[in-house]
Amino acid sequence: MGRYTYLAVLAGCLLAAVWLEPLFRVRVLRRWRRLTLTVLPVAAVFILWDLAAIAAGHWTFDPDQTLGVSFGPLPLEEALFFLVVPICALLGFEGVRASLRRRAATTPETTGDPTPDGAAGARANRQAGPSGEPACSTAGGPE
């Protein structure tokens, strides 16, 4: 793969996670403003760490396995890493949350419904959504 090695790894990470957006409807990429406000500050801080580590000689990059485009000592791929990894982490996090919500919504009520129409009660509960949803919740938002 030569000089595309690092870039290929980043592409692999994105491919492994991006399908969650349409299939799990995690709405990470759709909420692009919040995504930008999250990813850019984090990337800035960690790129500073990276630059300090390169300056201190903690790590170096193989020029034969990167494109050769760089910002000072920072290869383009290493900068992209700090965009790709946070986006993948957010897709995974919202994917887990979506599947937890789905499970909560389909699990039958186990608390024994005293009303004769138990199904209707369960349906009402389902519409109300799982209680105690933490502050990060976005499940009930409009599609």
Residues that bind another protein (CB under 8 A): 5-6, 9, 12-13, 16-17, 27, 30-35, 37-39, 41-42, 45-46, 49, 52-53, 56-62, 65-66, 82, 85-86, 88-90, 92-93, 96-97, 100, 134-138, 141-142
CB of 52 to another protein, least distance (A): 8
Provide the token pair at 80: 């992209």
Provide the token pair at 23: 């299939």
CB of 70 to another protein, least distance (A): 14
Provide the token pair at 39: 């990813």
CB of 49 to another protein, least distance (A): 7
Identify the residue whose tokens are 């790590």. Answer: 59
Distance between CA atoms of residues 76 and 3, nearest Å: 12
Distance between CA atoms of residues 106 and 140, nearest Å: 16
Query: Whose Cβ is closer to another protein: residue 49's or residue 120's?
Result: 49
